[in-house]
Amino acid sequence: SNQVSSAPRCQPSCKSLLLAVCAACIGGTFQYGYNVSVINAPTQSVQKFINQTWRERYQTGISEDVLTLLWSTIVSMFTLGGFVGVTIGGTLSVKLGRKGTLLTNNIFALLAALLMGLSHPAGSFELLIIGRLLSGINAGIGLCVQPLYLGEIAPTAIRGAMGMGTSVFITGGILTGQVMGLKELLGREEHWPILLSTTCIPAFLQLLILPWFPESPRYLLIDKADDEGCKKALKQLHGMAACDGEREDIEKEKNNLVGFQAKKPWELFTDRSLRWQLLTIIVLSIAQQLSGINAIYFYAEYMFKQSGIPVDKIPYATVGTGACECITALTCGMLIECLGRKVLIAGGYTLMSICCILFTLTLTFQDASPVFPYLSMVCVFAFILSFGLGPGGVTNILITELFTQNARPAAYMIAGSVNWLSFFSIGMIFPFIVLGLKQYCFLVFLVVCCSVGTYIFLVVPETKNKTFLEIQNEFQSSNKRKVGSSDGAGTTLLTTSI
């Protein structure tokens, strides 16, 4: 019955669902994208400021090494904060609810904005480091809890398209950060404290809009056993007509979890019925960072220089890459419900593998002919497009879909920690890889993309238009095939409520 009724289900309340997505994302993953990219523009000015402060304090110039170390600390403090944020995010989402956590989370953003804005007048670059740490915590909690909220308020029929809100807003954040850093807006040297403290604007916006929307109905019914609240929330989000069908789905999931506590992250590792799901999200989270997308951004400026774009115009070309990623995130949102998750993500990794090969070739023959720099530029855009279509968008949705309610927060904590740790390590190691391997560094990424593509193709089932329970059962039947029925007893639990 689910498939039949799914088409007309979404009409009456699409508007309120769309607004709920915007309200959740503007203070969630938008902040993540924004703070990742906004730090690039004021690099020179902040380093000058550190130099000046050092001179005033110690009466000597700062050495090149210490300056680089301080700068990379300011940049990568963000990833450490993100790691902290993810580890507390899952717990908070059970204690305060999904919406409560998102609202509380803005405290970190506001504090960060305050500290980074005050660092210049106070003459202290330590405030910048603490500010970046806090905005990292904010982004970590947002990245963990906001996809959770979106996945739980979405009707089954458009769950994928709504989950895309996450990546649309990440890329939107990256793009906004790049645009704000242009000379015409806040990219001038004297404006960098204002530029860094603009992170408070999305926070204020979320505090204004999100309180008007309900808590996740799944959380209300399953975690809080609040029947009335769940009914009200579903009415507001899905309209009168759809509300009963969705409630049945949640009821089923609830009966299925009677007597189950929300799992802790380490319990997922010991649960044999979940091991393929867990392996899948860990592989996908590592691959998202190690697929070379960071490398492409790192190389983008060099490529643009090589292609003969004048130096003062390069920031605009970089904005082009951001816009490109943003557009693909939107396209992916439209394709995901008709093509399915598996096609997009496996296809994305395949295209990225091809781009890696082409990129290595065009970089190697850079000087052979004037055409090659332009070809490598095309490769940059093609790579970003493939990333945005598959891995960039679908990874987050799969985490929501491969787990049921009691395991979901823990799954987000694991995936998130893996994601931030890979992000941190690639941020630290990557410059050295580039120095050592030069253009052949893309062969490393080629291996990653190929192997992940193959893994998805072999292991991950298609999750489009299925309820969370159906997905769970599909994994278990494939588990039974893989394991032979050695632990049949553990898998019969789920069939009771269907």
Read off the pLDDT of residues 373-390 as tens digits, 9 standing for 90 and up. 888 888 888 998 899 888
Residue 219 DSSP one-character state: I
- Supply the pLDDT for residue 259: 67
For residues 403 and 277, is the Cβ–Cβ distance under 8 A? yes
User: What pLDDT is recorded for position 317?
Assistant: 84
Domains 13-213 and 262-478 share a fold: yes
Give 467-470's long-range contacts (Cβ < 8 A, gap of 24+).
467/2, 467/156, 467/249, 467/252, 467/253, 468/249, 468/253, 468/401, 468/403, 468/404, 468/405, 469/252, 469/253, 469/256, 469/404, 469/494, 469/497, 469/498
Which pLDDT score, from 0 to 100, does residue 129 have?
93
**3-state secondary structure string, 220-259?**
HHHHCCCHHHHHHHHHHHHHHHHHHHHHHHHHHHHHHCCC
Please give the structure tokens belonging to residue 452.
């992940």
Contact between 302 and 361 (Cβ < 8 Å): no
Superfamily (CATH H level) for 262-478: MFS general substrate transporter like domains (1.20.1250.20)
Closest CA to 155 of 3, 334, 257, 343: 3
Spatial neighbors of 270 by CB under 8 A, at least 6 apart, are: none
- pLDDT score, position 106: 96
- Exposed, middle or buried by CB within 10 Å (0-12, 13-18, 19+), for 475? buried
CATH topology of domain 13-213: Growth Hormone; Chain: A; (1.20.1250)
* Cα 224 off chain centre by: 28
At residue 23, the pLDDT reads 93
Report pLDDT for 55. 92
pLDDT digits (tens, 9 = 90+) for 88-100: 998 899 899 999 9
Taking 70 as the pLDDT cut, the residues of the chain under it are 1-13, 259, 298, 431, 479-498
HSE-CB at 204 with a 13 A cutoff on CA atoms is 6
Quote the CA–CA distance of 13 and 11 in Å, as a whole number.
6
Q: Any idea where the domains of the chain sit in the sequence?
A: 13-213, 262-478
Please report the sign of the dihedral spanned by the C-alpha atoms of residue 76, residue 82, residue 83, residue 88: positive
Cβ-proximal residues to 8 (8 Å cutoff; 6+ apart), any chain: 241
